Amino acid sequence: MENHIAYNLLQNNPGKLICSPAFQASIRKVVNKWVQRGFIKYAHTDDLTQEVNTLLLEKRCYQIQKNYKLEYGSLVLYFERVVYNLCVDLIVKPTKIDKYCYSLDDVNPRFVAMHSQYENDLLEIEKSRLVLLLNKFNENKGKFLLLLKLYSRLPLTTNDIKDISQKVNRKVAKELLKDFGKSYTDIEDREIFEKITPILNLVEQKKVSPDATRRWFSSKVNLLIEKMNRKTQGIEYDREALKNLTQIVFNRVSLSA
């Protein structure tokens, strides 16, 4: 379908555009990439395809209608990136992933190396972009990565807290792993910051409140989201989407797929 025809249909009847053979083929193409890499929790490809279509027809097609502009380029490519974001929202949820987590030290080199290998795969590109951006956090990088993993509800490993372990007594490090070395998806952000801030204060020899730690981390997350967003290409992150992508990056099952 030519771009100007697709654009006119988007403006006049977005539901019909979504149901057209060309755009249904785009949905299947994106969904199949997830299936081929083993990320998908659905039993069959059709299940996820149906979920994506439902979300598109109920809400997202009108957002595309509002946001897409001809100067952005191909509407099909823009649409496929929207479908990718929907797949992230549908597939990646906090589950029992304790035994599948990479440490903060293990994850970066592998994904930087994978960038060129999967440059045409939307998911792999986004994972590589996230890792590359995380590597650019020079000041307090270790602190930010630790908080990001906690914020994303990923269980900690001994490698994740090795810097902390060198500066606090063994009991404190042991308690940290006891609290966050297993699934803790039911713990609220407030409680996480209340528990981790005193430990960070010991390491940094500071007296900072949990709320100050939260504000510092929040500013870094906002900066990361700003850099991850590519609105002209239909890729726009919020905090939940960033959590989802973080879970994929540090998830051993995803890495080995």
Give the model's pLDDT for residue 251: 66
Domain range for residue 214? 98-256
Same domain, yes or no, for 17 and 122?
Answer: no
Residue 249 is predicted with a pLDDT of: 83
- Is residue 39 domain-shared with residue 85, that is, in the same domain? yes
pLDDT, position 234: 61
Same domain, 12 and 120: no
d(CA 83, CA 104): 29
- Boundary-marking domain end, from 53, 74, 91: 91
Task: Identify the sign of the CA torsion 149, 154, 160, 164.
Answer: positive
Compute the distance between CA of residue 84 and CA of residue 48 in angstroms, rounded to an integer.
12
pLDDT at site 231: 64
pLDDT of residue 196: 94
pLDDT of 146 reads: 92
The letter for the amino acid at 152 is S
The C-alpha atoms of residue 36 and residue 31 are separated, in whole angstroms, by 9
Among 63, 91, 119, give the residue marking a domain's end: 91
Shared domain for 73 and 150, answered yes or no, is: no
Q: Rounded distance, CA 201 to CA 193, Å?
A: 12
Do both 60 and 35 map to the same domain?
yes
Number of domains in the chain: 2
Q: What is the DSSP letter of 181?
A: S
Q: What is the mean pLDDT of each run of 10 residues along the chain (257 residues)?
A: 87 90 88 66 69 87 85 83 80 41 42 38 76 82 91 86 79 88 86 94 91 95 89 72 83 37
User: Cβ–Cβ contacts within 10 Å for residue 199, how many?
Assistant: 18
What is the Cα–Cα distance from 157 to 101, expressed in whole angstroms? 8
Instruction: Region of 237 please: left (phi>0), alpha (psi -120 to 50) or beta.
Output: beta
- 195-239 pLDDT, tens digit per residue, is 999 999 988 888 999 999 999 999 999 999 988 887 666 677 888
For the segment 15-46, what is each residue's pLDDT rounded down to a tens digit? Answer: 899 899 889 988 988 887 776 655 554 456 77
What local confidence, expressed as pLDDT, does residue 40 receive?
54
| Domain shared by 53 and 130, yes or no | no
Query: Is the same domain home to 113 and 86?
Result: no
In this predicted structure, what is the pLDDT of residue 171?
86
204 with 170, same domain?
yes
Same domain, 160 and 216: yes
3-state secondary structure of 2: coil
84 and 111 fall within a common domain: no
